[in-house]
Every structure is written in C-alpha cells, then in structure tokens.
Homo-oligomer: A and B are copies of this chain.
Amino acid sequence: QIGVCYFPEHWPDDRLEPDVEMMVDAGIEVVRMAEFSWGRLEPERGEFDFEWLDRAVGTLGEAGIDVVLCTPTATPPKWLVDDHPGILQAEADGTVREFGSRRHYCFNSAVYREETERIVSRMAERYADSPHVVGWQTDNEYGCHETVQCYCDDCAAAFREWCSEQYEDIADLNETWGTTFWSQQYGSFEAIDPPRHSAAEHHPSRLLDYARFASDSVVDYNRLQTDLLREANDDWFVTHNFMGNFPTPDAFAVGEDLDFASWDSYPTGFAQDRALGEVTADRLRAGDPDQVGLNHDIYRGPAGFWVMEQQPGDVNWPPYSPQPGEGAMRLWAHHAVAHGAEAVCYFRWRRCREGQEQYHAGLLRHDGTPDRGYHDASQSARELGAVAEFTDSSASDVADTGSLAGVDAPVAVLFDYEDLWALDTQPHSPEFDYWTLVGQFYGALRARGVQADVVSPESDLTDYAAVVAPTLHLADETLADHLAEFVDSGGHLLLGPRSGVKTPGNQLHENLAPGPLAPLVGGHVDQHETPPESLPTTVSYRGESYDYDTWAEWLVAEDADATGTHESGVGDGNPALLDHAVGDGSVAYCGVQPGEDLADALVTDLLDRADVAHTDRFPETVRVAERDGLTWVLNFGAESVTVEAADDAEWVVGSETVPAYGASVVSAPVASVSLADR
C-alpha cells in the first residue's frame, strides 16, 4: 500500500476535494491525519471543533481511501501550557524546555496524563464507529529532539518510585549499582535524584537505570493511549511512528503494546546526521541502503511494519539538502516493501507554507501542483499493484487477498537497547558507536543478499540457522543459557567485541570478559584498547590480513581455536579471533570492530557453516532482497547496473538493467541473482 500523511487543516476547506482526487489518481490507498492537530481540534479548553476532520475522513473514505488517525499529544497547545506550566520538560541543568516547537511535555506529569486521557478519549469516541478509520498512530516520534530523558521534579519523584519497584530495598540498589565507589551510597530511595548537572561524569549504573526509567516512562505513557483507543474500538490497529537509528525509547518494549511498529524513513538525512565519517555522493542522493534496511528490520515484527513517513524529496533538517536522485523516492518504496513493509506513507502530501518545515518537500509543491515525489509515488503504487497481482496469480492459496507474504529471514541479528545505552555513556573512544558496530556486521549480511531479523537477544532463536550478535555487552547467565541452547541444538553464532563485559547492573562481571559467555566463546579477553586512526590496526584471519578500527581486544584461547591474531601495535601476536565448536553448532568470536572485508569474511564463513544460501558480494550501492518468492534488485548508486538471474526468471518490475536510483523485481530466488560482467 502506498499512503500519504495529510494535513487538511493547513489548507482552505475547498482544497479537500481536489486533493483527494489527486490522491486517487496516484493510487494512494491510505492517508494519515490529525498529527499535531490539538490546537485546531480544541482551540480553547473544552471547545472542540471536529467538523473539518469529519469532513476529511468522510471524503477520503468515500473515495475508497483508508484513514489512519493520530493522537495529537506531541504538541500540547499554548492554553494548556499556560494552564499547567508544570508539564514542561527540564534539561539536566534545570533549564525549562518552553513552548514553541514540539515534544515539550513530560511523560511523568500526572497533569499531562489527565489531559492526554481527555483528548484521546474524545477523539477515539468520535471515530469509534467510522467505517473509514482503520487504525491509529499514538503521538509522534517519541523522543525526537532528545526528549525521552527529562530532569524535572515530576521525573525525580517518578524515578524514586521506579527504583523502589526495581530493587528490594536500598541496600539492593547500592549493591547492584556499586555505590561504594566515590562514596555514592544512598540511604533511602528518597535520596535518589535524576543525574542532573555535576562537576564530572555520573555513575554508569545510575545513568543506565535512568535510561531504563525514562524508556519505561514512555512505555507507560504510550500504554495509556493504546488502552484508551482499544477501549473505544477493538478492531482498530494501533501503531506508533518510531525514528531511524534512534536510541530512546526501547522500541521493542513500546512495541509490545502496538499491533505493529512503524517508522519514519529519511535516507538522505540519516546518511548525513547519524553516521560517522564523510558521506559519499551516492548517499547524499539516495541514502545508505543498509542504514535504512537495518531500521526496516528492527521495526519489522510478525505483523510486518509500516513506513509511516517516507522521505518525499528534499528535507529541511539535515546539514545539507541536495535533491534526491531521479527516482529515489520510488526506490525507497520498493526497498521498504522488499524488507517487509505493508505500507509506505510519504510525508507529507504537500509542502507546508507555514512553520518550521517550509523547507520540507511534499508529494505536491506548496502551490498544489505535483512535485517530483508525486510521480515516484504514483509509479510505486502502480508497480506494487502489479507485484501483488503477480503473487496472487502465482499463489496456490486462492484466499490470498493481494498482500505479499512476510519476509522469511534465515538469520537473526541481535540488537539490544540496554547495550546501546550502556555503551553510549562509556564509548571509551570518540569513534565508538553502537550503530556503527552493528552496521558493520549487518551490512556484510546484506551485501550477500541475506535477509535478517533484527531482534532482542531474549527472542526465540529456534528458527534461525545463524545468529549474529555484533555485541552482547550486558550479559547474565540467563542470556548465556539462552544462547547455549541455540548453539547446542545446531545453531551457529557469530559474536562481536565488548561482549559479556557488564552485569545488568552495569558493573564489570567478576570474571574477565566475556564473563558468563566465556564458556560459549571458549576463551577470554586479556586486554582491550581503543587506538586512534593514526595507529596501524590490522589482524590476520585464516591466513589473510584485514583492517579493523576503533576497538581491539587481545584474546586468550582456552577451548577455542585462534583463527586470527593481531598484526600491529603493542598487542602484535595475540589472538584476535576465536572459533569454538559447541554441541551441534559453533561460536565464532571477533575481538575487534571489523572493517568491511573482515566482516564479510566472518559472515560468509558463518553462512557457509549454517548452510544459508547467499549471493556473491554486491558493491555497497547495490542490494538484493527476497520476499515471497520475488527478489528486488535495488540500485542506490549513480550508475546503472546489470544483473543476471535464472533464464526462466520473470521480471515483474523493470528488467536486468537497473538504472541509477532504480529498482527491479524478478521472480527468482535471491541466491540466483548476481552482477553481470563484473
């Protein structure tokens, strides 16, 4: 499904009908509305105006378009803030985050929860019987502008309460955190504060718990909304639009209260503002397929996922705003669908004349005429219709109603928000970044055409042939047992550096890293170091030399075999990589942050051991992905590429030659697809 985010309240009333007509022409099947609309829906306390929204829902519905509504809680209006200034968030130094942008409310404000209940109930009741409203998005982008962590007095009280629930008593907290260090003992839960401005860095255990608490506050707040919505109508789906490469809150935890997750994908922005290093010309034009794909796979669950906001053209917030490549907006829709998206909604319908996002394109220009994205969206809708038709006709199951089957991933990549938080406060190098480390392993899988589920380490791993854990920083015996079970029964695990270092309380384990994972790994870490780029950093692996960067461990092989050693620096000659046969499976441990070539070597060895089919290695701008028997060929580069597939493969969209920023779809297994004429 191709959809769009629509703000009818920004335009004259008589624009509604032409807009809907143009949507229908483009093949748009779903429209999201009412985000940020509180001030329009309730201009004064208790004075509601739903007429405009009723009319929009009705007109869209009658045109055959499904409506998704948003609760408007991300932007409490000025009268509400003036009534209750205490709902505003505070910075760590006490500065209040004032009215004038968005996300200015505190998740732990009891007053704001009441206000939320008031507006959400009212909206839910209003549309409970609408035949056109199919689902809801709660709020918008929880945590945007670093607003998950707030330091106000309400949060202080809530944090004390949270701690008292997490720990048996204050002695338990003191022991779990380890507060003897620097005389940080607490005499009671009452003595605990948020980690506000201090002369030096805070205690890592306190910081980790504050991150957990803040994330839990979002989960609670969101649940308040999902409960109210389901109470009004149990058939609606409820989702939330998460952000890309976003650290807070824990999307897996928030997701437990959602029917499925959705997220907001802005490839050329993310390539600039949430990736280390220089950005290539190709990424400026089309983004980094693996950075985007990783997020698709994080948010994809058993019920799939939606891209709730898809970049429609140039956007306002990255450092630079070059125009996307010709066709890139179509490429992104295909890419999302190949990764399992059930819907791709462009943001926004029309460039807004007012406010903070005037430099953010829409499918229409601000004068109401079609912009570059409109044509890409229309083409995507047509092509995805053809794809659905193809799979329907080829499906044996006559009950298939046009929806593609989900992605069937043979490999899981383990991703953990608590590891992310813990490492974020103790990176130990300016270049260390959890996303980068995960991305090195994930990208190696994708360069070999392998689909991966990105899941929490606690997930059921039974159905995966192989598991890649870029790091498992916080680890306990339960996790070790969980992984041992997987490996014992024939699973193959590839484990990255900085694993098993910490207890869940963020102390060092009593034994050397990888702590409770040491028996699985068959060895331990002797030393770690974080060399700057100016120092040479190479390791051997199975007889070849490879570069690594940022993080190095000198290992001791106990039961494992050393498959590689350091070839540079003070640690020259020490083991750097281990292999350990365990039960019917195996564990490979990599003690450095691998460069691309080493990640590829490790991943292909893993796939071969686990008997997972894969392609030859594709260049970084070309990606292939299989879903429901079809393989997408996605070109994120400025040069066209030609691929080969089996002779009887049928090209459902496009052909063997995929133009710059183009996409083709072929009915063939992914492993049969390769670059021609390399």
> Which residues does A use to contact B, with CB under 8 Å?
9-10, 36-40, 43-44, 72, 75-79, 82, 89, 91, 93-104, 144-147, 177-187, 191, 193, 195-206, 278-279, 281, 284-285, 314, 316, 319-326, 351-359, 365-367, 372, 426, 428-430, 507-512, 527-532, 534-535, 554, 569-571
Contact = CB atoms under 8 A, between A and B. Distances in A.
B570 A37 contact: no
Nearest to A502: B358
A615 B38 CA distance: 62
A204 to B, nearest CB: 7
Contacts of A570: 285, 322-326
B352 A181 contact: yes
A358 B354 CA distance: 49
A177 B102 CA distance: 17
A36 B356 CA distance: 41
7 contacts: A40-B180, A96-B196, A99-B193, A180-B354, A321-B429, A322-B570, A326-B570
B39 A185 contact: yes
Contacts of A40: 180, 183, 185
Contact of A357 (B181, B197, B367): B181
A493 B571 CA distance: 47
A178 B78 contact: no
Contacts of A186: 78
A98 B278 contact: no
B39 A184 contact: yes
Contacts of A89: 199
Contacts of A278: 534
A102 B321 contact: no
Nearest to A503: B353
Contact of A528 (B196, B314, B320): B314
Given A77-B185, A185-B78, A352-B181, A200 B102 contact: yes
A622 to B, nearest CB: 19
B507 A353 contact: yes
A84 B413 CA distance: 50
A322 to B, nearest CB: 5
Given A185-B77, A187-B78, A322 B530 contact: yes
Contacts of A199: 89, 97, 101-104, 145-147
Given A97-B197, A426-B359, A354 B205 contact: yes
A100 B206 contact: yes
Contacts of A367: 510-512
Given A354-B178, A354-B181, A367-B510, A429 B39 contact: no
